Structure 1
Amino acid sequence: MAEASVRVVVVDDHSIFRSGLKADLDASIDVVGEAHDVESALAVVVETAPDVVLLDVHLPGLAVPAGSTGGAEVIRRAAPELPATRFLALSVSDKAEDVVGVIRAGARGYITKGSSGGEVSRAVHAVATGDAVFSPKLAGFVLDAFGAAVGETAVAGDELDRLSAREQEVMRLIARGYAYKEVAAELFISVKTVETHVSAVLRKLQLSSRHELTAWATARRLL
């Protein structure tokens, strides 16, 4: 029985690699779009709403903040708009920080570019059905990172309990760099109300500035 077709967008900054990958993928993989950087990836992914996005980790783009990667940024920005789309990292890098970074951003798997076309195709199908897929040598990075994070998550949960649901929403947006006006527009509240919530968040968390808030939220993986 033939496998069901999976709609895929391929994101990589090297056109030769994209062409070679498409040629190697199984016939059941329907490539509905391509992109070469963060901006073009966001546009194509949102437009086509594919089942799976195959993306490189280190993508160029003006929208990539310090400490992040292009692949992680694509996931963070596109995933909230496309809850049914899965993201699978395909990279030459096997560094622990790259693997953990994109998984924390929301990727369902991470395989290296040394994988064959058949291996990539099987990984795409697995991720499309909700499974998590990792190249064997990379799985340990994920287990180590998220095992160590259990205790930190418990501590963060205790601290978050001090905040109301609305304060938590405001906290995350401010920590991500949103201006007060942008937070107000996002949550349909007044700028004055945003200011009140920010003051309450800083007081309850015993922080003195939004920069400290960003550092606090980043350290606890809340962004």
Structure 2
Amino acid sequence: MGAGDGEGGERMTTEQAAGETAERHVRVVLVDDHRMFRTGVQAEIGATDRTGVEVVGEAADVDQAVTVITATRPEVVLLDVHLPGGGGVEVLRRCASLMGGQESPVRFLALSVSDAAEDVIGVIRGGARGYVTKTITGGDLVDAIFRIKDGDAVFSPRLAGFVLDAFASTDAPPVDEDLDRLTQREREVLRLIARGYAYKEIAKQLFISVKTVESHVSAVLRKLQLSNRHELTRWATARRLV
């Protein structure tokens, strides 16, 4: 009798778990310019019968993202911060009308390798409901997606402080007009240059060519009216971007 009770209890637990998964469902769009990363996320979270997450679209740049999001109207968008065409902030700007004022708003969760304060604050100001880094586990990402769908705000632990500093304080720093002239990719190259990385190291880390790094550095110097990487490093350090 004891053994029978144990088996029956185990079956009930399994059935209840399966029922809970079946009841949970969320439609998601993946936006990231690295195809291999999108494939990995799809494999990790996209088994709908197990996770309740249905990936209904993917995009690799800003224009693709806006097109796919508008066409599919997902409940949650996993959004990379650094994208060709203007970055995640531009996607948020162009999708602003989809975020509110309707029964089924599209909600955005930033998923990025960057943990820079200006990136976090930028996308939250743009309308994203949360920000997690790419070190997050598959299970935690699924949980974060459902929390975002339900209207919660989700942040990787150390990133929450950036948001509190920027929005809970009455002396939050104003928007830096010089920094706003730079694209998201240029900001990323700027930070790495300021941290002392060589062009080859930056190219490897960002999966771009050395020539592309050089082009970004030239654009940064021109936009900020600086002469060399030493001035650039001082500029970035003064703004606590390093």
Is the shorter-chain TM-score for this pair beyond 0.5, marking a shared fold?
yes
Equivalent position of 1:43 in the other structure:
67
Equivalent position of 2:88 in the other structure:
71
Deviations 1:178-220 (A, max 9, x none): xxxxxxxxxxxxxxxxxxxxxxxxxxxxxxxxxxxxxxxxxxx
Specify which of 98, 101, 123 is matched with residue 119 of structure 2: 98
Mind listing any 5+ residue stretches in structure 1 that lack a counterpart? Answer: 65-69, 153-223
Specify which of 100, 109, 122 is matched with residue 88 of structure 1: 109
1:82 Cα deviation (Å)? 4.4
Specify which of 32, 41, 51 is matched with residue 27 of structure 1: 51
Larger Rg: 2
1:184-223 matched pairs, under 5 angstroms: none
Runs of 4+ aligned residues of structure 1 deviating over 3 Å after TM superposition are none
Specify which of 124, 138, 143 is matched with residue 159 of structure 2: 138
The two structures have a TM-score, normalised by structure 2, of 0.58
The two structures have a TM-score, normalised by structure 1, of 0.62
How many angstroms apart in 1 are the aligned matches of 2:98 and 2:127?
A: 13
- How many residue pairs end up in the alignment? 145
How many angstroms apart in 2 are the aligned matches of 1:82 and 1:106?
A: 8
Deviations 1:83-110 (A, max 9, x none): 3010000000000000000000000000
1:100-119 matched pairs, under 5 angstroms: 100-119=121-140
1:129 Cα deviation (Å)? 0.2
Contact 1:79–1:85 at 8 Å: present in 2 too?
Answer: no
Identity in percent: 58
Asked if 1:6 is matched to 2:22, the reply is no
How many angstroms apart in 2 are the aligned matches of 1:115 and 1:129?
A: 20
- Supply the AA of the counterpart residue of 1:54: L
Secondary structure of 1:87's counterpart equals strand
How many angstroms apart in 1 are the aligned matches of 2:37 and 2:28?
A: 15
Mind listing any 5+ residue stretches in structure 2 that lack a counterpart? Answer: 1-19, 173-242
The RMSD of aligned alpha carbons is: 1.6
